[in-house]
Amino acid sequence: MNFEHYIRRCFELAQNGAGAVSPNPLVGAVLVYNDEIIGEGYHEQYGEAHAEVNAFESVPDSKRALIPESTLFVNLEPCNHHGKTPPCSQRVIKEGVRRVVLSNVDPNPSTNGQGIEVLRKQGVDVITGILEKEGKWLNRRFFTQHTKHRPYIILKWAQSADGFIGRNDGTQMAISNALTNIYTHKWRSEEDAILIGAQTAINDDPNLTNRNWFGKHPIRILFDPNKRVPNDFNIFNKTVKTLVIHRNLFSLVKSNDNLAHANFIRLFFKYLSSLDDALIQSIIVEGGGKTLRSFIDSKCWDEARIITSTKLLNHGVKAPIIEGQHLSLIQLGTDKITTIISSS
């Protein structure tokens, strides 16, 4: 039996939950009997049934007797705690499955090996580490939250062919093409929050919704230390929840302090972790040059998506300089999208 083949199928299924299951991880599950898939499922919506349960429920009545003789493939360790749903480890035991093949151990302290331990104590053969690196990449937001205790940060900007992200006077201009704009709205739908700085809000007055794509809108975060953005701007409309990050939120910061942006960002992460209802696991940063450079200089970023147009500006605001590992390059019409991941 080709373990990697079925774990890759788990990855494919899991990805269907992108934008709908956070702060839970993306999980897919496949039940295999004699190299035949008899059931499969994925975590479809936060608060609803997990992947393992959906896989078991998908097995037709004519093949339910095969479940105990089947192998369950799942890209993340079955949970072992009562949350919005019962523990998946107990469902696996109840169904009589004798072998489970995993990609990753769950980093969440409420599970973190406990699901595996419970299964093994019940005589289940648990095999781990199949395509482990790929599994962590799939759930990079979830792993970042539980290992670095902050959201996964994606920096995004569009630049001209000669390396500018806008005009010096702040006037709006389209750099990327229409196809790329649709693609970037898909990105927004997959993240919990979208962040811009005060100057971008003042210059562009954006809505920050994924109106060109389906799915939920991200929570809007306005990075406005000195509260400069007027209350009648689009970012404060009632379409989507907006969080405003300003100096008065932090007792350690006086309103007249010249606090370095890097330190301000760290306080911002600490503030987010204190919000019981925020559940912000990932943020896409679409700010201007100053905001982007603040995240880069403070090494508080994980992934950068850089859209390069064929247009020339000749002068203007220079695009940020960023160093990391080049992951991919794709072409969308006249635009190229480069993805870079942080080396830190």
Catalytic residues: 52
Q: Is the dihedral of CA 84, 85, 86, 88 positive or negative?
A: negative
The tokens for 62 are 């004519």
DSSP string, 275-335: -TTT---EEEE---HHHHHHHHHTT--SEEEEEE-S---SSSEEPPP--SEEEEEEEETTE
Which of 206, 227, 225, 343 minimizes the C-alpha distance to 284?
Answer: 206
Which of 268, 18, 316 minimizes the C-alpha distance to 171?
Answer: 316
SS3 of 211, please?
A: coil
* Helix-helix angle 51-58:3-15, to 10 degrees: 110
Q: What is the DSSP letter of 26?
A: P
Q: How many CB atoms lie within 10 A of CB 265?
A: 22
Which of 8, 97, 3 minimizes the C-alpha distance to 52?
Answer: 97
Q: How far apart are CA 253 and CA 259, in angstroms?
A: 8
Token pair 């039940």: residue? 31
